Amino acid sequence: MKSVFVSTFPFCRTSQVALDLLVSKGFKVTVNPLGRKMKPNEVAEAAKNFDALVAGTEELTPLIETTNTLKFISRVGVGLDNVPLGLCKEKGISVAYTPDAVSPAVSELALCLIVDAMRKVTYADMEIRRGEWTRPYGERIGGATIGILGFGRIGKRVASHLLGYLPKEILVCDLLDQKEVIQQLNHVSSSIHKLNLSLGKNWNPTEVRQVELEVLLKSSDAITIHVPLTEASKNLINSRTMSLMKPNAVLINTARGGIVNEDDLYHILKENVISAGAMDVFEEEPYKGPLVGLENLILTQHMGSCSNDCREDMEREAAENVVGFFGGGKWEKVV
C-alpha cells in the first residue's frame, strides 16, 4: 500500500472527493493535523517516510534534502516556487500540479480587490465600525487604465473580466509576445462597443495593448500582479518601481509573497505615495507584520483559490495526479 501525506491546508474542508478518491484506490492517507500552514521543518519531519506528498505552498526544500522514500509531489495549485525542482530531478522525485483549476477563483478575487481598493469599500467598513461616516470618494474602473503584470492563465482571465467594466485601456506586461490574445480581446471589446451603441450608449471601446513595465507602472490607475515568484521577480515591486506609479493608483497582489517588497510597500502606503493596495499573499504566512496597521491596505488570507468549486477541483486533480502517477495513468507532469 502506497502512503500519501497531505501537507496543504485546508484540504477537503467542504468536499471529501479528493480524499475519497485516494482511499478508494488503496492509498494510505495522512492529512496535516495542525490546522494551519506547516513550517518547512514540520513538513520535513512529518512527510519524510511517505511515498507521495500532496502539497500546498509550504517550502519543501528541507523535506527533499532528507527524504529517501518520496517519489512524487502533487501540488494543489499552480505555483512551484516552493518546490526545489532541480533537487527533485536529481533525486528522481516527479512533480505535478493543477494549473487550470485555480484560475477562475484567483482572477475573480483580483477583480474584487481592484474594485474594493479603488472605491474604498473596506476603508468605509472600518470607518463605520469606529463610529465615523465620511462617505469616501473613489475611482471607477470605467474610463480608467488597468495594468496587468503577467499574462498567463490568470492574467488573461482578469483582462476578459475587466472588459465589461469598460476601462479606457488594459495594459499588459509580459515576457512573451501576447499579440494573438490581445487581438482577440480587442475584437471582444469592439463587439461590446457595438452592443452598447445598439442600446443607445456611446461608450468608448477598451483598448488592450502590451507595454514595457515602466510604461505600465507610470500609466495605470490600478495594477494587478500575476507573475510567478522567481529570482527575477523577487522584490520586483519595490520603492523605486512603486514611486513611478500615479498618486491615485492602487496595487493588487494575488500572486506570491516576495514579489512586492513588504517593507517598501509599508512606507509607500504610509507616506501616501500611492492611494491604496491589497495583498492576498505574503513572504511569511500567516502574516503578522506591520502592514496590519495601514488603513489604506486590504489584507486577505492567501485565499485566491478558496472558492468551494475551485478548491474541490484543485484537490481532486491533485489526487488524480497521484493515482495516475502510481497507476500508470495521466498526470500533469512538471519534472
Active site residues: 256, 285, 302
| Residues 48 and 316 sit within 8 Å (Cβ to Cβ) | no
Residue type, 300: T
With CA atoms as reference, report the closest residue to 34 among 67, 75, 68, 5.
5
d(CA 194, CA 183): 17
| Residues 290 and 269 sit within 8 Å (Cβ to Cβ) | no
With CA atoms as reference, report the closest residue to 7 among 40, 31, 41, 24.
31
* 17 CB neighbour count, 10 Å cutoff: 13
Strands, E assignment, 131-289: 145-149, 169-173, 207-210, 222-225, 250-253, 276-279
With CA atoms as reference, report the closest residue to 42 among 26, 51, 27, 53.
53
